[in-house]
Structures are given as C-alpha cells and as structure tokens.
Amino acid sequence: MLKNNKSLRPHLLRIIIIIYLLTSIAALSLIYFTLNNKIEDLGTKFSIQYLLKEKNRITTPIEREIALAKKMVDTPTLKKWAENENDKHLKELALSELESYRKHFQDKSYFFVIDKSGDYYFNNKNNEFKDNQYSYTLDKNNEKDQWYFTTMKNIDDFILNVNVDRVLNTTKLWIDAIVYNNNGEKIGMAGTGLTLDRFLENFIKTDSSFITPILFDEKGFIQAYKNTDYIQMSAISTELSQQKDKTIFELIGSKEKEKMKTIMQKLTENSEKVHTLKLKINNNKRIAAITYIPAINWYIMILLDSSEIFSLWEFSSIIAVLIISLLLIVIAIVYFINKIIINPIDRLIDFTEIVASGNYEQEININSKNELGRLANSFNKMAATIRKHTNNLEDLVKQRTFELTNSNKELAAKNNKIMDNISYAKYLQNSILPLKNNLKNYFLVVILNFGDILHKKYYP
C-alpha cells in the first residue's frame, strides 16, 4: 500500500530503470566476454594457419633441394666415378652431371667428396670453378674437416646443417647426402647449399603489425626476429652458447620458460603438431603458435596481437543498436504499463471517489477482458447494487413515513375523541356532584356537627 498518496507511476518507473541498467550491464558484460573469447579463438586459429603457411613456405624449397640432392647421389655415373676417380672419361661425365644438377639447385651450387681420396669438388652460382672444380683434400687431422668424417660415420642417408657466417652475415643450410655403391658401401658425399637469408627476410617482414614471426634453435637462440638485438648469429660457438641474454626464454619471460621447454620437447617428438599458448612479451599479451621444422632443427613461432585484429570498438555499432533496442523496449514497456495498468487503475480510483461521494449513477468503461476489465465490471455491478439498494431504501422510507403519518393522524383522532369523552364526563360530574367549594363547606358543617355531638355526649 502506497503511503502519503504517492503515485505508483514513479515507483514503477524507478524499478524499470533499475532493471534496464542491470540488463544493459549484464548484456554488455556478456558481449564483452563473448567477443573477447571469440577474438582469442579466432586469433588462435589465425595464428595456427599463418604458422603452417610460413612453415610450408620454408620447408617446401628445402624438401625440394633434399629430393634433388638424394637423386644426385643416386646417379650411376657419380657412383662409378667415386670408385674410379682417376678415370678421366668418368670424371668428365661425372662433372658434366654435377653441372647439370647445379643448374637446378636453387643456390646454383654443389659439392662432391670422394671418400677414398678425400678430394672435395665444388662449384658455385657464378660458375667460378667451371674448369677446376677440385677445391682441396679433406684431412682427418684438420678440425675444420671433421664435419665430413663425423657425418660419414654417423649418418646413413642425409643430414642438414645450418651454417651462420658472421663475417658475411649470411645463414646457409647445407644438405649433405651419402653416396653408396651397388654393394651398399659408403663411397662419398654430395650436396648443395641453400641460402636462407631471403627466406628469413621474407619471414620477418610482414605486412601486418600485429604478427611477429620468430625462428629459434633447439637451445633457444633466436635466428630470425624483427629486433636484431636478440639474434645470436654465432650461437653454435661455445662462447656465445654460454650467454643467456639472447634466447627465446629471456624474451618470453622466466615464468613461461619451463612451459616453453616442455612444448619444444613435445614438438621434437611430433613435428606435425602445433602448440598454442598465451605469452607476455614486453608486458604485452600475445597469442603464440609454435611448431618444429625438423629439416633445419629450428622452431618457428608466431606471436599474434589479437587486439589489433579485432577491437571491441569495431562492434560499437552493434552495442549501440543493442542499447537503443533495450531503451526502446523499456519505453514500450512503460507505455503499455501506463496504458494497460496505470491509467485503468487511475480511472478506477476516480470512479471509487465518485461512488464514495454518493453518486451511484456513474459507470466506468474499461474495454478489456483482463483482470482490470473484470474488476471494472465488478465495480459497475457494485455501484448498481448500491444504487438499487439506495433507491429501494428511499422508497421504503417514504412508505414507512406515509404509514407513520397515517398512524399519527389516527392516533390524534383517537386522542381527540378521548379528550372529548373526558370533557363530557367532567360535564356530567359537574352536573351531578356539587361544586368543589360547596362540597368543602358541606363536609365542614358535617365535621362541626359531629364535633358538637361528641362534646355533648362526653361533656353534658
């Protein structure tokens, strides 16, 4: 029940406004968290797709070079020459074969080593050694030549080696494939080099500022990154491998170090997988996608700033439409509540005040079949009943008044008749009995005479 005759309308309006505000806050919160999760989900999927694209872009030419190198070492002419190096005819045919492969290699270079002699043959892109492909003879006692002897001992098919030249500031991938004779014996090695500089440059240079690609090796040393201060170009040396300020672990932060190592181990076991995680780079949140390139024993990671791809402000028009829609709904609710509830209640209140003033002739007309319509009909029936009883009461009062008036008249007539009878009786009394004064004198004489008699009797 409202106190101090306050209207229900402002109370109801306040409640609707509060509900509107709470609903808006809840809706905006839901939109924020939903969009934020959706943005992260899309960002994760995008980073994975971008990562796989970059991995394929790097591995495809490497796989092509590997296939070409393996085909080269399987050439019969080269096998025969490796067992008969001094045969000039075989040498001429073999070098011609090597030159043919050189033209198809991407780096336009090759090397060939005959195991019996240790002679190293080489020609490059510029064809500088066209007439003299022999370079030098490998020496087991020379530390610089140990790569060959170690590879021949431990590798059965082929191996990839990444060589970083600090002087020339180049990164080159060498493909070393083993040459076998028909008896399955190792008789030499051949291969080619693939300059990775162009791939690394294209890998680092992206048109999107929200994408940051990184390449790092199994020790965590960064091989390609937009910030060259982090690139450790000579990480293969013992001196630089002891440094701790240029690895991926220092870039991502110590908290994620163990997690990163675990992911690297899993990717080494299954290079087809892609792992994603959330990282904090320079106090900025990033989505990271990581995979492994076994061909070069490197890891490729894509850092994605999802906030740059999608911003909540891009959905401001949708949010505005939502807020305006909610506002219109509230206005519609207020309008219909006023029309359907408040206004009929006001009319009912006015009607009850009219009835309370004694006017039972009025009727309230609410054309509705809901509870308020039925309540209005009940009020009309109540007013009709009161009006009927009031009219009947007035007729009854008139009838009772008329009957009472007739009764009063009859009683007055009877009273008059009684009074007449009393007057007549008094007249008869006066006519028969002496007057009051004579009667008094008579009794006085009687008393005196009686007194004389008594006196004479007792006092003779």
DSSP 212: E
Query: Is there a common fold for 11-62+206-310 and 74-199?
Result: yes
Candidates 117, 76, 27, 115; CA nearest to 325 is 27
What confidence score (pLDDT) does residue 245 get? 47
Contact 278, 288 (CB under 8 A): yes
Contact 62, 308 (CB under 8 A): no
Please name the amino acid found at residue 430: N
CB-based contacts of 36, cutoff 8 Å, min separation 6: 312
The highest-confidence range among 86-90, 195-199, 443-447, by mean pLDDT, is 86-90
What confidence score (pLDDT) does residue 309 get? 62
Q: How far is Cα of residue 332 from the mean position of the Cα atoms in its chain?
A: 28
What confidence score (pLDDT) does residue 242 get? 45
- Per-domain residue ranges for the chain? 11-62+206-310, 74-199, 312-460
When pLDDT is averaged across residues 205-221 and rounded to a whole number, the result is 78
What confidence score (pLDDT) does residue 296 get? 77
What confidence score (pLDDT) does residue 71 get? 94
CATH architecture type of domain 11-62+206-310: 2-Layer Sandwich (3.30)
- Name the average pLDDT for the chain: 79
What confidence score (pLDDT) does residue 2 get? 40
When pLDDT is averaged across residues 165-175 and rounded to a whole number, the result is 69
Domain 74-199 indexed as CATH 3.90.199.10: no
Q: Give the confidence band of 185 by pLDDT, cuts at 50, 70, 90.
A: very high
CA–CA separation, 134 and 148 (whole Å): 16
- pLDDT of residue 289 exceeding 80, the answer is yes
Task: Specify the DSSP element, H or E, that contains 443.
Answer: helix 436-458
What confidence score (pLDDT) does residue 168 get? 54
Helix axes 343-356, 371-432, angle to 10 degrees: 0
Q: Which two tokens stand for residue 342?
A: 């408040």
Q: How far is Cα of residue 371 from the mean position of the Cα atoms in its chain?
A: 42
- pLDDT of residue 236 exceeding 50, the answer is no
What confidence score (pLDDT) does residue 420 get? 73
Burial class (CB in 10 A: 0-12, 13-18, 19+), 201: exposed
